[in-house]
Amino acid sequence: MANILVNAPKMAKRGDVIEIKALIMHPMETGFRPGPNGQIIPRNIIEHFTATWNDAEIFALEMSPAISANPFVSFFAVATESGTIRLRWTGDQGFAVEEQVAIAVE
């Protein structure tokens, strides 16, 4: 299973702008590199990242092979209501991983 690190505050005041950072372990193989046998290693990247807040999409990122291995992304969100921030990564070779963090908004 993929290793994921998510950094987001557990609590926020309503209306605060919070930063969410996420890191996921993934080779992000570009599909342009030869392997030890001289053959091109097939592309294996994460193409899409989405973040939802109580199931409403708040952020999406389309990635290319130019994104580093173990993709890191940081973005901001307005704290609107208590609930769940769900992060989802999908990509080549059927890659689909989800992580969620709870946030309390008062």
- For binding to another protein (CB under 8 A), which residues are involved? 17, 21, 28-30, 32-36, 41, 53, 56, 58-69, 71-78, 80
d(CA 94, CA 10): 31
Comparing CB distances to another protein, the nearer of 62 and 98 is: 62
d(CA 17, CA 86): 17
Write down the least CB distance from residue 72 to another protein, Å: 5
For residue 91, give both structure tokens. Answer: 């990509």
Write down the least CB distance from residue 19 to another protein, Å: 8
Comparing CB distances to another protein, the nearer of 36 and 94 is: 36
Q: Rounded to 5 degrees, what are φ and ψ at 10?
A: -80, -25
